[in-house]
Structure 1
Amino acid sequence: MLQGKTVLLGVTGGIAAYKAAAVASKLTQAGAKTHVVLTASAAKFIAPLTFQAITRNRVIVDTFDEDDASVISHIDLADRADAVVIAPATANSLAKLALGLGDDMLSTTLLAIGNRAPVLIAPAMNVHMYANPVVQSHMETLRARGFTFVEPGEGFLACGYTGKGRMAEPEEIVDRLIERLGRRRAMEGVRVLVTAGATVERIDPVRYLTNDSSGKMGFAVAEAARDLGAKVTLVAGRADVAPPGGVELVRVESAQQMYDAVLSRFAEADIVVKAAAVADYRPAQTAARKLKKTEATLSLELERTPDILKALGERKAPGQVLVGFAAETNDLAKHAMGKAARKQADFIAGNDVSKPNVGFGHDTNAVSVYTAEGLVEDLPLQSKRAVADRLLAIAYDAYKARAEARGTGL
């Protein structure tokens, strides 16, 4: 899996930096073209020459150490990297990554990489630093962006404490990287259609009806499918965050526009995940000019919008997998199972948005996946990216099973 791959190993300034030499060795032995970037603090713990001898590649510490005038080092490394490992990752480096700072060679290179390559992080620090809510918040931010963590182990630490904080063993780090790269190809050739965000239903040119959807859940699904190698089409309404790169993005505003965009692309999709919060009603009449305020009350006549999930369920081919969402405040199982049956959806991901940190606007979600017959799996409160990863795994397993049953293979 690593043969011929270019792996960027970032080493930050903690006592566990000495173990990074073993990581570099194992990556190189596995056939990776290993390029090491040390922070200035890391170079206080272990010499760059150690990594140069192991990898047979130049080791960079200084951002301005440009020995090849034909390239800019941090951009060149970012363009060539198939994967990134940061081991050890200190509390300071996690903060810089989460905040998007670029004040040294490693952080600048990671900014240039963005989400174009998988990033594996192996934290190492004092037990109390690791448990600090600020550090945990930064890790949660990075998880939500798709970064993978190799959790530290428990034991005696260099500071004298005993607890969680020692860097994972080099063998585990390399094994996790191989697993991550393997998973990255799992859905290669599969076509995934995702909807995300809120629809906007115009009352007049300056007023509209909408909802609280931020787009984060749908964007996480699209990003996760992209990282698994799928060809992704993302139909997005109004959202609070930027959509992921590397996908075909189709922007829409109203429920009708989303209906048209999705239906026109549905036949080509293998898996459809309907995460958008689509308005159920729209004004029966949209004023061409701004409605002026009067002393009287204003009544709006509303009409039903097209039911996208139902239309897809009616048109679904035997090999397609259709996943919908149900945001509920009570009787989650009853409503989710009923929705799956009425809409002929394969799965409904139901979430109770009355619970803290669940659903609209949050970076986290807790989802229960249902079929019309019953519960498939409960996904506890976690990052929306982690929910997306598991939801796609459930949908993809169903897709594979149907392909095998039809004898078509993948």
Structure 2
Amino acid sequence: MRILITAGGTREYIDPVRFISNASSGRMGYALVRAALKAGHKVTLITAPTTQRLPSGAKVVEVETAAQMFEAVKKGFEICNCLIMAAAVSDYTSARTAKTKIKKSNKSLTLKLKPTADILKWAGKHKRKNQIVVGFALEDRNLRQNAEIKLKEKNIDIIIANTSDAIGAGKSTVQIKTRDSSWTKIENATKAIIAKKVISIIIARRKYERR
């Protein structure tokens, strides 16, 4: 199976040296890459900046911004059997990026932001028959309810829900649901254990859809 995985947190520049980003470490995405490779799959990793070591055995595409990640996903999506959107893609980007460094002054500075493209929604809309799309939902309230809404509204196959405590943590708790299954909860597990379980669920899903 050809698996396309995104990881890391995108950067949205407000000037040549400053950017808006998030606290994503990229650890979950990289763990998924290692688990998929170990299971014998061909993997392409689209990664935003992280401190993680690039995995050997995977094709790697490095990006910075949400727009760059979207373009890379669109290109890789054409030939993959499964997309796992583990990256923390910025929801907003600067409406105007200054061409030179913004100088410090005593005046307040107001930034105007505009929404970025919804990559997961695009993938759900354009996926082919038997092509699997996996998304993540980071929620600080109503976790299952909000994750199920995302699963349905974005027309994806599998949702992995967790809380903000998972960011950068060595161990975390996640809850996983497919379109037609009940919730599976994995408690206080390493990223490697979670990744192995996710890949096994994807394999089972692909076998089910190809019957």
TM-score by length of 2: 0.97
Q: What are the equivalent positions in structure 2 for 1:163-178 lying under 5 Å apart?
A: none
- 8 A Cα contact 1:333 1:370, kept in partner: no
Q: Does 1:395 align with 2:202?
A: yes
1:359 to 2:166 alignment: yes
> Which residue number corresponds to residue 368 of structure 1?
175
Q: Is the 8 A contact 1:192 1:232 kept in 2?
A: yes
Cα deviation, 1:283-309, whole Å, max 9, x if unaligned, reads 000011000111111000000001100
Report the counterpart of residue 257 of structure 1 in structure 2: 68
Picking from 197, 219, 222, the partner of 2:33 is 222
Q: Which amino acid aligns with 2:167?
A: F
Higher Rg? 1
Question: What's the offset of the Cα at 1:376?
Answer: 3.1
**What is the CA deviation profile of residues 38-74 of structure 1, one whole-angstrom value per residue up to 9, with x for unaligned ones?**
xxxxxxxxxxxxxxxxxxxxxxxxxxxxxxxxxxxxx
Which residue pairs with 2:154 in the alignment?
A: 343
Deviation at 1:374, TM superposition (A): 6.2
Q: 2 CA distance for matches of 1:291 and 1:251?
A: 27
Aligned to 1:312: 123
Residue in 2 aligned with 1:80? none
CA distance in 2, matches of 1:374, 1:327: 20
The residue aligned with 2:5 is 194
Any idea what SS the aligned residue of 2:14 has?
strand
Deviation at 1:373, TM superposition (A): 5.8
CA distance in 1 between partners of 2:49 and 2:137 (Å): 19
Distance 2:58 2:95 in 1: 34
1:301 maps onto 2:112 in alignment? yes
Structure 1, residues 55-105: CA drift from partner, whole Å, max 9, x if none? xxxxxxxxxxxxxxxxxxxxxxxxxxxxxxxxxxxxxxxxxxxxxxxxxxx
User: Contact (CA 8 Å) 1:337, 1:374: kept in 2 or not?
Assistant: no
Cα drift, residue 271 of structure 1: 1.3
- The amino acid of 2:147's aligned partner reads A
Q: 1:272, 1:323 within 8 Å by CA — same for their partners in 2?
A: yes
Q: Following superposition, which runs of at least 4 residues in structure 1 exceed 4 angstroms of deviation?
A: none
Answer whether contact 1:368 1:375 (CA < 8 A) is retained.
Answer: no
Letter in 2 for 1:365: S
Q: Which one of 187, 204, 208 corresponds to residue 380 of structure 1?
A: 187
Q: Any idea what SS the aligned residue of 2:174 has?
A: strand
Which protein has the bigger helix share? Answer: 1
Q: 2:24 matched to 1:213?
A: yes
Per the TM alignment, residue 325 of structure 1 is displaced from its structure 2 partner at its CA by 0.3
Aligned counterpart for 1:248 among listed residues 50, 53, 59: 59
Distance 1:374 1:303, change over 3 A: farther
Mapped partners of 2:105, 2:180: distance in 1: 52
Query: Counterpart of 1:401 in structure 2: which amino acid?
Result: Y
Structure 1 Cα separation of the partners of residues 141 and 27 of structure 2: 23
Identity in percent: 37
Paired residues in the alignment total 211
Take 2:123 and 2:202, find their aligned partners in 1: how far apart are those partners? 16
Q: Report the counterpart of residue 94 of structure 2 in structure 1.
A: 283
Give the structure 2 partner of residue 326 of structure 1. Answer: 137
How far apart, in 1, do the equivalents of 2:13 and 2:182 lie?
38
Equivalent-residue separation in structure 1 for 2:195 and 2:79 (angstroms)? 22
Distance of aligned partners of 1:295 and 1:383 in 2 relative to their CA distance in 1, 3 Å threshold:
same
Following TM superposition, by how much is the alpha carbon of 1:318 offset from its aligned partner in structure 2, in angstroms? 1.3
8 Å CA contact 1:368, 1:379 repeated in 2: yes
